[in-house]
Structure formats: structure tokens, C-alpha cells
Structure 1
């Protein structure tokens, strides 16, 4: 049996000692006043049961997974022009799926600390680690693709240095917290050269997933002229063949699987209407893998002495109530 007291031991020991001294003093006083034998047994039992409940006894056994609050979750989000390709669901931009999945993950990992890194021509930390999911929701709602005229080609691993620095900082400050990475993108490499490897220390990533968006048929992308413009936009044109036409972006799942292998996490393709369960089940085994520091489970037993104390208190209350009724003065007799 183990004990997890509700107060530190340096408080519990003096409190218990004071309670025992008080019980001894009242017992001696009751004997001197000629009280009935055993009159102090109920109050003494009540105090002892409350002290036992405060010690929170329990029986060890089994194991429990680490609490969600012990996780640092990093979202690495592709905000290149291709994330606006309209092949998600019924012609919606891929970014709609990215937004939905970010908030679905946040809902499943309530209490975790979240950070967001976006990348296009360069990688930027949009939000440092925080438990404020409302801030995450606001940032997710305003996510937009890069302005088209600034797009000069991008790499799918452009966030590698920033992500590596953020993961190392998280490990150094709180090594006990699992570090979960969700990479959300389409795998399209437009920089004209092969993507550089992520080059992350395997110990930095404890779980997560690479989430892919788009189809092999691809979709057209609307131009982004500014972050505040709501005007109807034309589609981005493909002039690489000499004749203008709507540019089409297609998902590159082979590249995404390669990134997943480098991060040591699974790859999951996401389509409109997909539930969050399969996505989380694929990612969580890495996040919750057994470690030498796994927590030991226990069955709480404090409720038993607490229930006994309640029954004794109820019994004592009824006894006192009966005594009070016996002490009520009777009606005065009428004089002749």
C-alpha cells in the first residue's frame, strides 16, 4: 500500500500529532467528568478516519500513460502557393483541410502546449509554445498562402533549421515532455533542386505524423495579391511551356513519405470528411511509447475511510440531536 497525502508530510505530521493529542486530552477530561464509557470512541474514530483519508491510501498496480499536458506539439505548415490548390473535397483549397486538422488535433490533445512554424520561401515561427488554444485557433483562421508575386520557388524542408532549433530548446528546457511534430503539406518541391534532408536528431521527435493534402489529378491555384484583399482573383498561370495556361499543383506523396521517414513518424493522406481518429491513432504510438520513466498506476482507496467518516458523523449527529430533544424544557404546570 502507498500513500499520497493531500498536504506535504511536514504539514500532515504536525496535524496528525495535534489531532491525537486533542483526542487524548478529551478522553481524560471525559473520564474525570464521569462520562459514559466509550463516549469518545465515535469522535476519535471520526478524526482517525479523516486523517487516513487525507493520507490518500492506494494499492499500486499497472501503468498509466503520460498526461497530455506533458506534450509539446509543433505544427509545421506549408504556406506556399500550392497549398491553395483546389482539390480538397468539392473543389476547396487544401488549406481548408490543413485548418480543420490543426484544430482537430488541438481538441484531441487538450492541455498540451502548441507551437506553429510556417514555411514558403522562408520558415517563420508564427506562435511559440503555449497552452492558449484560442490563440492557436485565431492564428489558424488567418493562415493564408504566400503572396504570389513573392513566390520564387520553395523547398519542402525549408523549416528544418527552425524546427530543429525549436525542438532542441524544448528538450533543453523541459526534457520530460514529449515532443510531437505534425508536418502538414503537399510535398511539392518548386525550388528547382532536390530538397535537403531534415537532419533532425532522432531523440528530438517522440511522435507525430506527416499529413498530406491534394490529389494526383491536382488542382488549380488562385493568385494571392495581398493578405487583406477579398477581391476575386485569377488563377496562377503556367508559362513554363511557352503558352499560358492555368497552373496545376499535384501532391507528391513519395516526397512526403520521405519526410516522414526522416522524422521517424508515419505518413497519413488526408481528404475531406476524414475523421480525426485514424490520424491520431497513427501518430500517437510514437508519442506514447514506453520509456524507463513510465508512470506507475495505483488504485485509490481514500474513499473507504471517507465513507466511514461520513457514516460516523451522521451517527454522531443523530445522537446529539436526540440528546438535544431530551433537554427541551417541558410545559409549565398550571397553578390552581
Structure 2
């Protein structure tokens, strides 16, 4: 059995010693008899169980992949209205595929630091570099397309300046960590003019991929009324050139391949049901060492003493409540 305490040992040892001294002093001063013994053993049992849970006991078991702790991963995510086009899988919006792939990448690169930049009419850093995968999961789950009325045309490379700044800052602070960029979008340029080049310094990007979503046939896009609501029931209408009817968004793979070339990473089209492995193999930079190393796993057992402490505390709370209820009638009898 091994222990991984929630605090450093230099903190845990004094806490344990202090608890032992207090419990011993309480036991010496407790009243003799059964009631006194129970009054001393209960707090002692609770303290012992809580300290044991804090020590995080565990036993060896299984194995886990070595963590990619030396990676900074940047997700550049398209949140324009077209990312809601319903041509991913069985009529699902493209954003469903984006969410799924972001978390799949995070799972493959466990231990890395993740950041997210989204872009529509402008680019925004939604999350700075962090190792908190749960924060990335939460952010990914609430990603939504731009509000329809604000969608006045966007460029597929509008995030280039912000991405350069974030990559440069990452290199300056930790030059030893490789920087991986994943660009996720459909390549549809709606600003009415040709996009500016990405203009990302090649030395800032060590790997990654441009991931494309959508089909040549395209899909319709549901309107989004505001940022607090989900997609509505009405579809965005095509009012360009005097035409009418539901607007259709189509993937522009040539544009996406061009962005990939400018970033120096491969382009990978993504569709529902696609495996994760090919995407990761294509995106892995040659400068990073391939490894099949696995680390010895560990089965956590802290939950057992924690559960026992909860049951013990609950039992004692119920006993105290019963005693209080028994005292109420006696209190009424002594009133004049």
C-alpha cells in the first residue's frame, strides 16, 4: 500500500501528532463508564478516519500512459454561425464534432497545458494555458455559435494576431515546451474579401493540425437569438443577391489546406465516427519523441475511510437528535 497525502508530509506529520496528543488527553479526562468511553471513542474514530482519508491510501493496479507534460496546446475554434450547419453525422451541427474532438485531443495529451481561442467577428482568448482539464471540458461544453444578428461577416484568419501573441508569450515563459496548434473550423470566408495570411512565425509552432468540419453539399444553420439560449427553431435565411430560402454553409477545404500550409501542420477532415488515432498521428510533430511508455497505475482507497467517517458522523447526529427530542417533554413539565 502507498500513500499520497493531500498535504506535504511536513504538514501531515505535525497534524497527526497534534491529533494523537488531543485524543490521548481527551481519553484521560473522559468520565469512567460506558457513556464516557463512547464519548471518547467517537471523536477519536472520526479523527482517525479523516486523517486516513487525507493520507490517500492506494494499492498498485493497472497502468496509465505517460503524461504529455511538456506540451502547450492551443485550440483555435471557429464560432461563426456556419459552425452550426447541420451536416455533421446524422444532421447534427458541426459544433458537436468540434466539441468531441477537442476533448478527444485533451484525453490523448493528458497532462499538457491547454488554451482556447475562439473567433467569429473577432478573436477572443476564452481560456489561458492551464492544466485543468475539467475547465477545458466545461468551456467546451458551453461553446455556442455567434448570435445571428451579430454575424456580419467574418474572416477565417481573424485570430492570427492573437494566436501569435499567445504563442510568443508561451515561448518566452517556457521555451522548452513544444507548442501545438489545433485549428478547428469549416474554412468559410464570409467577410466579402480575401483573408489575410495567418502570418504565424514557423518557429512558434511545433505541431498540430487544421481540422475541417462540414460537407461539400453543406447544411442549414439554425438561428441563435442570444448567448443565453440554445439554437432556435428557425433557420438562417439567405438574403444575398435577391435570393430567398434557407442559407446553406459548405466547407471550403481549399481554404483550410491553405491555413494548414501557413501554420506548417497537416489538414485533416473530420466526420462523425472518425477515429482519434489518425488525427493524432497526422498532427504529431517529428520533433516530439514517440513513446509507448506506460506508468504504473494506482487504485485509490481514500473513499473507504471517508465513507466510514460520514456514516459514523451521521449515526452520531441521529443519536443526538433523538436525545434532544426526549428532552423536550421534560422541559415543558418544569414550567410553572
Tell me the TM-score normalised to structure 1 length: 0.66
Kindly state the Cα deviation for residue 100 of structure 1 after the two structures are TM-superposed.
0.1
- Show the counterpart of 2:282: 282
Kindly state the Cα deviation for residue 156 of structure 1 after the two structures are TM-superposed.
0.2
Kindly state the Cα deviation for residue 278 of structure 1 after the two structures are TM-superposed.
0.3
Q: Secondary structure at the match of 1:280?
A: helix
- Cα pair distance change 1:247/1:111, threshold 3 Å: same
Kindly state the Cα deviation for residue 243 of structure 1 after the two structures are TM-superposed.
3.2
TM-superposition CA deviations, 1:126-170 (whole Å, max 9, x none): 000000000000000000000000011000000000000000000
- Show the counterpart of 2:309: none
- Show the counterpart of 1:152: 152
- Show the counterpart of 1:185: 185
- Show the counterpart of 1:109: 109
Whole-Å separation in 2 of the counterparts to 1:245 and 1:97: 26
Whole-Å separation in 1 of the counterparts to 2:245 and 2:282: 39
- Show the counterpart of 1:260: 260
1:212–1:256 Cα contact (<8 Å) kept: yes
2:181–2:205 Cα contact (<8 Å) kept: yes
Whole-Å separation in 2 of the counterparts to 1:264 and 1:285: 10
Whole-Å separation in 1 of the counterparts to 2:254 and 2:260: 10
Q: How does 1:141-220 map to 2 (within 5 A)?
A: 141-220=141-220
Kindly state the Cα deviation for residue 116 of structure 1 after the two structures are TM-superposed.
0.1
Larger Rg: 1
Q: Does 1:119 align with 2:125?
A: no
Whole-Å separation in 1 of the counterparts to 2:154 and 2:232: 25
Q: What root-mean-square deviation, in Å, do the aligned CA atoms of Structure 1 and Structure 2 show?
A: 1.8
Whole-Å separation in 1 of the counterparts to 2:90 and 2:145: 19
TM-superposition CA deviations, 1:42-96 (whole Å, max 9, x none): xxxxxxxxxxxxxxxxxxxxxxxx9610000000000000000000000000000
Kindly state the Cα deviation for residue 286 of structure 1 after the two structures are TM-superposed.
4.1
5+ residue gaps, structure 1, are 1-65, 298-336
Whole-Å separation in 2 of the counterparts to 1:135 and 1:78: 19
2:77–2:119 Cα contact (<8 Å) kept: yes
Kindly state the Cα deviation for residue 287 of structure 1 after the two structures are TM-superposed.
5.5
TM-superposition CA deviations, 1:172-222 (whole Å, max 9, x none): 000000000000000000000000001111000000000000000000000
1:208–1:287 Cα contact (<8 Å) kept: no
- Show the counterpart of 1:97: 97
Q: Secondary structure at the match of 2:172?
A: helix
Whole-Å separation in 2 of the counterparts to 1:164 and 1:285: 19
- Cα pair distance change 1:115/1:222, threshold 3 Å: same
- Show the counterpart of 1:81: 81
1:179–1:287 Cα contact (<8 Å) kept: no
5+ residue gaps, structure 2, are 1-65, 294-336
* Structure 1 stretches of 4+ moved >4 Å: none
Q: Secondary structure at the match of 2:86?
A: coil
